[in-house]
Amino acid sequence: MIPGPTRETRSLKHPVEDFVLPAGVKRIAAAVEYCGSAFSGWQRQSHSPSVQASVEAALSKVANEGISVICAGRTDTGVHATNQIIHFDTAAKRKDSNWLLGANANLPFGIRLHWVSEQTADFHARFSATARTYRYLIVNQPQRSALFYHGLSWEKRSLETPGMHRAIQLLIGEHDFSSFRASGCQSNSPNRNVHRARVWRQANLVIIEITANAFLHHMVRNIVGALVCIGRGDRSIEWLRELLLLRDRTKAPPTAPPNGLYLVKVNYPDGFRVPQMVPGPQFIAEV
């Protein structure tokens, strides 16, 4: 097995330009789409199936050697991705198309690679990323969806999306997000920089999208929990700002379920050859 770089323990702000691969070793990147409902999150687990373990097993068969992958952002149990970015180092000589077709032939139906591309040694799926975008999907109708039970959250009370959109604008910029941070979050700092945020409706589907430099554990789902309260009319728009300034998770509403959450985009500097994809999921009309 070709070991990954030891930078995994470093801060997100630390560069990786000085990392040099061993002779004959290449760094490969790929985009992974997965339905998280059948897995105990992204990260490899000793007691239950994970997306990471499935991807590594498939790539290892293609490489005929052990492959260890690093992702842009680890997702929790039940959370999905349309565009998770990974990288791995290998001495195996394979074409990009061989990696792609071979891995997909060995992956379960709930996981697929969409592209594979060789990268320079200074590319790092996590530390080279400048932003990540998550989307949270809520079916807003009297009854829960039968077809998309595992892929949509549900709210039976009518949600007023213009108010939710105005509220989420209050989170743009760099803030202390302690009110929206899981108690078990291991990040050294509660500060994150939200670049862009919006809420819109597509028929009975309410979509919440947040782009930030990085996210705290459960940050998006905790924000969604507050936005739903505002959308139902239980709380005012300004209440979201009050929650943010309180910096107290106990004052915020419960965490939204995981099944509506998708990692849909990861941004990298233009110097890296990272193909662009439609964020998705594919049944959403882009606006």
Q: Assign residue 210 the CATH number of its domain.
A: 3.30.70.660
Give the global pTM. 0.92
C-alpha separations of 132 from 209, 215, 271 in Å? 11, 8, 17
In a domain, 145, yes or no: yes
Q: Are 41 and 75 in contact (CB under 8 A)?
A: yes
- The predicted pLDDT at position 17 comes to 55
Burial per residue of 165-185, b for 16 or more beta-carbon CB atoms within 10 angstroms, e otherwise = bebbebbeeebebbbbbbeeb
Instruction: Tell me which residue range forms the domain holding 33.
Output: 6-128
Question: Which of 76, 96, 122, 176 is labelled catalytic?
Answer: 76
- 134-159 confidence digits (pLDDT tens): 999 999 999 999 999 999 999 999 99
**What is the C-alpha to C-alpha distance for residues 141 and 133, in angstroms, rounded to an integer?**
26
**What is the C-alpha to C-alpha distance for residues 81 and 33, in angstroms, rounded to an integer?**
5
- 103 and 180 together in one domain: no
First to last CA, the chain: 44
User: Looking at the 3D structure of the chain, how many domains does it have?
Assistant: 2
Task: Name the band, by pLDDT with cuts 50, 70 and 90, for residue 58.
Answer: very high
In whole numbers, what is the pLDDT of the chain averaged over residues?
93
Point out the domain boundary residue: 95, 128, 161: 128
CATH of the domain at 30: 3.30.70.580
- The predicted pLDDT at position 287 comes to 79
As a whole number, mean pLDDT of residues 150-179 equals 98
- 140 and 246 together in one domain: yes
76 flagged as catalytic: yes
In a domain, 15, yes or no: yes
- Helical packing angle, 51-63 and 96-106, nearest 10°: 130
- 135 and 244 together in one domain: yes
Count Cβ atoms below 10 Å from residue 131 Cβ, excluding itself: 16
